[in-house]
Each structure stands twice: as structure tokens, then as C-alpha cells.
Amino acid sequence: MCIRDRMRNQGAVPSRQSASGGQAPKGRVGKGKPAPSREMSGQAIKTVEKGERTVKTVRASVKTSGKTAVKGAGRTIKTAGQANHTVIKTTEASARAAQQGVKTAAVTAQRTALAAKQAAIATAQAAKATAKAAAAAVKATIAATKALVTAIFAGGWIAILILLMVVLFGALFAMVGGSNSSTVTPVSAEVQAYEPLIRQYARQYGIEEYVELIKAVMMQESGGQGSDPMQASECGYNTRYPHTPNAITDPEYSIDVGIQNLKACLEAAEVENPVDMNNIKLALQGYNYGNGYISWAKENYGGYTYANAVEFSDMMAQRNGWSSYGDKEYVSHVLRYYVFGRIPTGNGSQAIVQVALTQEGNVGGQPYWSWYGFNQREEWCACFVSWCADQCGYIDSGVIPKFAKCTEGANWFQQRGQWKDASYTPQAGDIIFFLWAGDSETHHVGIVVSVSDGRVYTVEGNSGDKVKQNSYPIGDSQIYGYGIIES
């Protein structure tokens, strides 16, 4: 709508003769009309003069308005130009920002894609690890079940009940274990590949229920590698090859001979079933030392102990003029791979010894300090003792405290009157605390395995950052004292 239209609508449209722009019409004396008087003429002159002044005022206003309008228009043009310049600059800045935003978005998208890819890889790896753990659990359960079935056919309901408990115990540890709670090391793929042959010859010689134990022996002997995986060339059942190390060049024959030898050891040790751990230990050490050890240990000590295994080794090395004889820690080395080797055996505090020995060789202590509740590695000797005690139910029953600081453990035994000083002759299962030179309080702890010939034999966590067996003279200056377990 134009301005005139709006003014019409408001009833204020001006006439064609503008009061501000036109002159007053010149008067004519009309016929029949009276002439104006002087007075009226004077008034007319005055009116004309006023009109002239009005015209001048209007002209001045027009000039002023014109100049103002021109100036205003100029300013408006300048302002518009500046505005356009500003708009152009703003548009350019926006374009640059948009371009930068696109680049940033592209980089972000690339990073997001990379992160997603990495997350996918991590997820896949985690899934693989979970699958492996589940597979290990299934394999452990299947192996235990096979042993159970074989034991049923072998007879002996008491053995079957014991084995059933072991099946449940072993399967539970396999399923909830992983790196945090289960330290049973799986056998290698090479050993696992030999299982059909192992089972064949174990069945042939009547010891099929010991397939898992045979696999553990092979794992310790060779890891399933080489032409003599059972390291059986030096035993009496080898009739084809020289009786020298690694002389057998046929893996199947090695398995045949090795299983015959292990069967003879199991019989000599009077092993009753796959969980007769005390006698299995005697048989295993006999497999390494030779059958002569079994009869010697039974006659002199009534069976296997780590201390008498050390004694026999030293005796035979001296007799033959050798620097060493066999593997003094063979039993614990084999039991790392035997699922039933984790079952506590013996009565009273002996159980903690059996549990501790199955852990020998662990490096870094992760299962123990993580079980305790630490998120990263800590000095873990006390965590190891506590973990072993927990496996036996000692912590829940209040027999031993759960402690990560040696001073706290020692104070607990001292306050309850269950403490002996370094001059005491300890027994298996006692908790031994140490005081290193320069220390004012105890900073190391272990478990007594046995005592023989004036020496105390121990198993300790965090000894060189691993689970390891050591020995000390009774009354040694390094021994702070002993916590006595009252079960």
C-alpha cells in the first residue's frame, strides 16, 4: 500500500493545490460584485506578505529537507555499504568457520571410527578370552568326569565319593578362576594333541583314570615337544634305544614306555585313586628319581616330604660324584598342571602346606594380591599366606587372619599366645616370620613345609617375586619367630 492510499484510508488525502507549495490565486473583481474596501486590501496585502513569508519558509524547509534528505540518503548509502561490507565479512567468516567445522567433523569422524575399530578389536579379544576360559572350564569338567567314570569301573565307593567332590571343586575353580583365583596352568596344545595316544596306552596298562596326571607329567618333562616327550629313555622299560637322555626317537614309543614306568611308580607308592595326593607325590618323585626313592622314603620317613626329597638328591649326587641329582621340586612342578593337585590333603595345618606347594613357580603374585583386593602389584608374601589359608577355610574359621602386612600377622599371633621365637623347632604348617638385617620389624613371611637335620624348609611367596621353596638353619638370625596354627 502506497502512502497516498494509506492517507486516503485515514481521510487525510491533500488536495492538488498544496497549502505549502502553491500561491494564493490573484483576485478579479467580478461583475455585479462589490469591490473590496481599502481595509480589506490592506488585509489582503498582509495576507500576501504572510504567504510570501510562508513560501520562503517552505522553500527554506525544502532546501533544508532536501539537504538533510540528501545527507541522510548519503549516510544511509554509507551505512548500507558498511552493512554490506560487514555482511560480506561475516559471510566470509561464517564460510571459513563452516569449512573449519567440516574439517573438524571429518577429523572427529575419523577418530571416532578408529576408536570404534579399536573398541571392536578389544571386544573381540575379550570375547576370545572369555571363550577360552569357558572352554578350559568345560575341558576341566570333562576330564574330571572321565576320571570319575573310570573310577566307578575300577571300584571303591569311598574313592568315588572323594573323586566326585574333586570334580565339583576342580570345575568350580576352572569356571571362576582365570588369572585371579585359579593358578592351575593348562597343558600345552602339543601335550593336548597326544591325549588320544595317552588314553590308548593308559587303558592298555590299566591306569586310564590317571590320564590327566600323565599329561601333567609330560608337560613338565617336555611340554609335548621332541621325540621323547615322556623323557623315558633312561628307564628300565626302554628296550629299543640306548639308556641315555633323549635317546628315544619315536614319540609314541616314549609314551608307551613312560606310562609303564609311571604305573610302576603308582603301584610302588600304593596310590589308591587320582586324588590320593600324598601317595601320588611319592610316585611322582619316584618317576623323577627312580623307583629306589620310593622304597627309601617309605622305609625312612613313611612317605614323601619335600625335605626328604632334598636329602635323597644330595645323597645320590654325592654318591655318584655329580653336582646334582634329579629335580628336588619335581612334585610341585608337575602339580601345577594337575587339576586335582589343588585339593588340600592331610589334617590340621598340613593342608595349608599342600595348597602352598601347588602354587610353586608362580611369578608376580597376581592371583594373591588381586584376591586380597589390590588393583596393582603390592609386596605379596603376606597375601600369598592369606590366600593359602583361605583355600583351607582357615580365615573363615578364624584360625588365621587375613593380612597383607607382616607386622599385623605377627601381632595377631602374639596377642593370642600363639607365638614362638626363633629358637623353637617348628612343624609343618607353622607360619614363619623373618627379620632381615637392619630391619626393626618383620617384613617377610612364609609357611613351614618340614624340618629335617636342623633345617627348616619353607615355601614363600614373593621370594624373588615368585613362589619358591627355601631352607634355613633352626635359630637362624633371619628368623623372627613363628605363628602357631591351632585348628
Q: Does residue 54 have a pLDDT over 60?
A: no
pLDDT tens digits for range 415-460 = 999 999 999 999 999 999 999 988 889 999 999 999 988 999 999 9
What percentage of the chain has pLDDT greater than the value 70?
61
Q: Determine contact, residues 121/127, Cβ cutoff 8 Å.
A: no
What structural domains does the chain harbor? 116-343 (1.10.530.10), 345-487 (3.90.1720.10)
Q: What 3-state DSSP class applies to 199?
A: helix
pLDDT digits (tens, 9 = 90+) for 172-190: 544 444 333 345 789 999 9
Most confident of 96-100, 336-340, 475-479: 475-479
Q: Binning pLDDT at 50, 70 and 90, where does residue 358 land?
A: confident
Q: What does the pLDDT look like over 83-124, one tens digit per residue?
A: 555 545 555 555 565 556 555 555 555 554 544 554 444 444
Looking at residue 11, what is its pLDDT?
Answer: 43
In this prediction, residues 200-210 reach a mean pLDDT of 96
> What is the DSSP secondary structure assignment for residue 446, as one 8-state letter?
E
Q: What is the CA angle 187-188-193, rounded to 5? A: 100
| Rounded Cα distance, 383 and 403, in Å | 7
pLDDT at residue 247, as a whole number: 96
- Residue 242 confidence class, pLDDT cut points 50, 70, 90: very high
Cell of 19: 497549502
Tens digits of residue pLDDT in 135-165: 554 455 455 555 555 555 444 454 455 555 5
pLDDT over 90 at 34, yes or no = no
Alpha helices by DSSP H, 225-340: 251-268, 277-289, 291-301, 306-320, 330-335
Residues paired with 420 in a beta bridge: 482
pLDDT at 14 over 50: no
Cα–Cα distance measured from residue 384 to residue 467, given in angstroms and rounded to the nearest whole number: 9
For residue 446, report the phi and psi dihedrals to the nearest 5 degrees: -150, -165
Residue 482 identity? Y
Digit-coded pLDDT (tens) for 264-276: 999 999 999 998 8
Chain segment 293-310, per-residue pLDDT in tens? 999 999 999 999 877 888
pLDDT number for residue 35: 45
Q: Residue 198: is its pLDDT beyond 70?
A: yes
Output 94 or 199, whichever has higher pLDDT: 199
